[in-house]
A and B are shown apart, each in its own frame.
Chain A
Amino acid sequence: MKYLIRAIVLGIVGYIVGVWLTLAIRGGSPTDEVAVVFGFILALIGWLAGIGGIEAFGRQWIGKTPEVSTARGWQRYFQFTVDHKVIGIQYGVTLLGVLLIGGFSAMIMRIELASPGMSIVDLEEFNKLVSMHGILMVAVAVAGIIGAFGNYIIPIQIGAADMAFPRLNALSYWLVPPVAIGLLSAPLLGSFSAGWTAYAPLSVGGDSGQILFNMAIITFGLSSILGGLNIIVTVITMRAPGMTWGRLPIFTWAGFATALLAFTVTQFFAAALVLITMDRVAGTDFFGPDVGTGILYEHIFWFYSHPAVYIMVLPGFGVILEIATAFSRKPLFAYKAVVGSLLTIVGLSVVVWAHHMFTSGMADFLQAPFMILTEAISIPTGVIFLSIIGTLWQGKLWFRTPLVIAFGWLFNFLIGGITGIFLADVATDIFLHDTYFVVAHFHYTIVGGSIFALLAAFFYWFPKITGRMYNDKLGIIFAVSVTVLFNTTFLPLFWVGINGMNRRVGDYPQAYESANKFASVSALLLGSTFLLFVGNIAWSAVAGPKAGSNPWNARTLEWQVSSPPSHHNFRSQPVIVGPPYDYGVPYVVFPDAEPAPEPDESGKEVLV
């Protein structure tokens, strides 16, 4: 704990020094945006130095051996620990907290929207609530699967003892708490009301909370970039002998594809927010109403934020594919086509951003190309969808919680995908833009595609990570109710959207009341089902039976080591001699733990 305390103290000292220096140089008040910017930067440096950056990096700069924490007890979760499993759990717990806060803000919004007119918040507060809900949930969706499970599972799946840059990995986690603190303390400066998109010129004016939003999200971008870079290098350089690219588990492939996007395009969000910050504090004019143009902001922003939806969803594809093959006891259908599709999506996703801007006033000749490219993405996405269905088809389905959630995922993502076509099409998009149809669509893709996959991943890998089982019946009840209530919440919103109800507004005409009331009641029930989720974790902690190393009889490497895995994951260097998903293939010997078996006499290969 002493490092956490040191980090907090140095962070506060950094903030005070930053503000004080700014005031000493240029005068003004401590709540001036310039002062907040310098305060935030120095606070961040102080925090990172305090949590362990001095020992882990600073010592190396002056020629000494770097030191990292080797604590083994619960204290390692509050230190600069480099074990990728600890970092995965740190990400998971932090983001679960953010998810619950974001969900709570959604509940307040739905209560407000249950009836026309303003009841518990006013219009301005509603905007701030929307913005806060949006950015918190985007953060969870971007980093949830890849941060928590990507960190925990990917190194084990490729047979590595840790990530390629363990200290960098710890750094990218410890950048996250300042992000959460920055966002949640924004209300002290008047919060931010320009939406999670921070559209200019709205975000160039407005309350000073916007500046905390900018600094926090730039920091979060840095964390994503470093994390993505680490995953790519790990997968390239640390695969165990025999783990060829063609034998890479599909979740690792999905994480790799995600990381390719995360470490490049995230710079554009950072750049867009740096420009807004400069517009606000340094007198430049990129997006202001006089000299600049907001369309430039939209271009830079969506160049990140459209690929970002694939940063959210691609790891979800990986999770659902893993679950489909393990719980239907069949080889993964069309493995190579799936890998090709993942990489095609990575390529296509950076050339479709302007479909968010059909009504923004950009040049007309851009509309048709962006419409066609966007619709082209549905081809690789459809291939992955077909692969999931082909894997489940005629399989011996084993209905446990992960598979039930995976079915919910399939249904939701199908609706999300199909409604996306109407928004990719210029003619219908002009009609549907800025209505609740868009809200329903992206909740079906992001919640349906990413958060459902996050829940599925949680129930799939929970026994591996904790070593205990959860209550499967309770899990299935949770899975079914969350799927049903999610649909009753968001299906009515398609209807009100088609009928013209505007998004981002706290009030609406009388005509939409009944549908909104239905959605609000469903949403509140949906929120309360998470009590089942939390209750299930608590049940597992108190009474959960031991899971054993391989409760699902799955074949990928993480299931061949103990639950939870030992400090360096393996007892000796694993050697891979076959593909990961040969369920039910004749002559394949079922994987046994160590030592590494030789190929058997029939010539068929076995997986370690």
Chain B
Amino acid sequence: MTTTKPPSTEYHQDMSFQPRANLIGLWLFIVSETFLFGAFLAARYYSTGTAKPEELNQNLALMLTIVLLASSLSAYMAETSIRFNHRRNFVIYISGTIIMGLIFLGGVGIELKEAIHLYPPGTPYGSSYFMLIGLHAFHVVTGLIALGFVLFLGLKGHYGSDDYWGAEGVIKYWHFVDLAWVIIYPTLYLF
């Protein structure tokens, strides 16, 4: 495998469509993911309705929700910063997002540790609880890994006001992960 350098006589299509394709592709991916979350949410409502146990740790869940929403705000600030070429702010905000994401994951760990005794998988609520939290946590982990690469590239001097699609795409995905939690949280804790 060598770099893509075919003979220069060959016809090459104008690549100006690519930014639009990237954006549409990302949105379609998010639509597709919505169906996946939709399936799990449907399973939860079908098998248990809105029933929930009394022992839920409401305070912890509320705090985690706030942390995740704040991380989304921070991610948005990072995107705006790089659009205006403020690299220092970009790095700070992305780091903030990652730290808040890690705090969220830690909180989820505590929740699951409590849950495994109170409503283990195998009970109707427990099955839905573990699947939805697990699915979301998986997306948080992938989002954090991607954000880690974005931070690494930002520190190395990649991205600029004219070329920040890599960061923008990951940040939009992070917003989606956040939005998914905004649906999952009331489904499991509030209704």
Chain A interface residues (CB < 8 Å from chain B): 3, 52, 55, 61-63, 65, 67-71, 79-80, 160-162, 164-165, 225, 229-230, 232-234, 236-238, 263-265, 267-268, 270-272, 274-275, 278, 282-286, 291-293, 296, 299-300, 303, 566-568, 570-573
Contact = CB atoms under 8 A, between A and B. Distances in A.
Interface residues of B, number: 45
A270 B36 contact: yes
What are the 4 A-B residue pairs with the smallest beta carbon separation, nearest first? Answer: A271-B39, A161-B13, A284-B127, A267-B35
Nearest to A269: B39
Contacts of A573: 11, 13-14
A243 B2 CA distance: 34
B178 to A, nearest CB: 20
B149 A164 contact: no
B96 interface: no
B21 A237 contact: yes
A278 B40 CA distance: 12
A427 B158 CA distance: 65
Contacts of A3: 1
A299 B121 contact: no
A339 to B, nearest CB: 20
A152 B5 CA distance: 22
B17 A286 contact: no
B105 interface: no
Given A161-B13, A225-B32, A229-B25, A300 B43 contact: yes
A236 B24 contact: yes
Contacts of A55: 1
Interface string B76-113: 00000000000000000000000000000000000000
B117 interface: no
A79 B2 CA distance: 12
Given A233-B21, A282-B130, A62 B152 contact: yes
Interface in B112-133: 120-124, 126-127, 130-131
B98 to A, nearest CB: 16
A271 B127 contact: no
Contacts of A62: 149, 152-153
A68 B1 contact: yes
Contacts of B12: 161, 568
A52 B1 contact: yes
Contacts of A162: 13
B121 A284 contact: yes
A423 to B, nearest CB: 25
Contacts of A79: 1
A263 B28 contact: yes
Given A55-B1, A285-B121, A567-B10, A275 B131 contact: yes
A263 B2 contact: no
A285 B21 contact: no
Given A233-B24, A263-B32, A291 B124 contact: yes
A278 B126 CA distance: 12
Given A271-B40, A568-B11, A571-B11, A296 B25 contact: no
Nearest to A260: B28
Contact of A70 (B2, B29, B38, B156): B2
A272 B25 contact: no
B122 to A, nearest CB: 5
Given A236-B24, A291-B123, A568-B12, A61 B4 contact: no
Nearest to B159: A63
Contacts of A275: 40, 43, 131
B11 to A, nearest CB: 5
A70 B6 contact: yes
Given A164-B17, A271-B43, 5 more contacts: A68-B1, A161-B11, A237-B17, A264-B32, A303-B39
A165 B46 contact: no
B131 to A, nearest CB: 6
Contact of B28 (A160, A233, A299): A233
A291 B122 contact: yes
18 contacts: A52-B1, A62-B153, A63-B153, A70-B1, A70-B4, A70-B5, A70-B6, A162-B13, A263-B28, A271-B40, A275-B43, A283-B122, A284-B130, A286-B127, A291-B123, A296-B43, A296-B47, A300-B42
B80 to A, nearest CB: 22
Contacts of B1: 3, 52, 55, 67-71, 79-80
Given A67-B4, A68-B4, A69-B1, A568 B121 contact: no
B3 interface: yes
Contacts of A69: 1
A160 B17 CA distance: 11
A571 B120 CA distance: 63
Contact of A265 (B5, B11, B35): B35
A291 B127 contact: yes
Interface string B121-155: 11110110011000000000000000001001100
A242 B25 CA distance: 23
Contacts of B183: none
A63 B39 contact: no
A110 B28 CA distance: 43
A291 B32 CA distance: 30
Given A225-B32, A291-B124, A237 B20 contact: yes
A267 B32 contact: yes
A284 B31 CA distance: 27
B117 to A, nearest CB: 14
B147 to A, nearest CB: 12
A527 to B, nearest CB: 38
Contacts of B21: 164-165, 233-234, 236-238
Contact of A283 (B18, B39, B120): B120
Interface string B33-66: 1011011101100110000000000000000000
A268 B47 contact: no
A263 B26 CA distance: 12
Q: Which of A3, A274, A566 has the largest count of B CB atoms less than 10 A from its CB?
A: A274
Contacts of A296: 43, 46-47
B177 to A, nearest CB: 16
Contact of A164 (B25, B38, B124, B130): B25
A296 B44 CA distance: 10
Nearest to A271: B39
Contacts of A568: 10-13
A236 B22 CA distance: 12
Contacts of B36: 267, 270-271
Nearest to B125: A291
A160 B39 contact: no
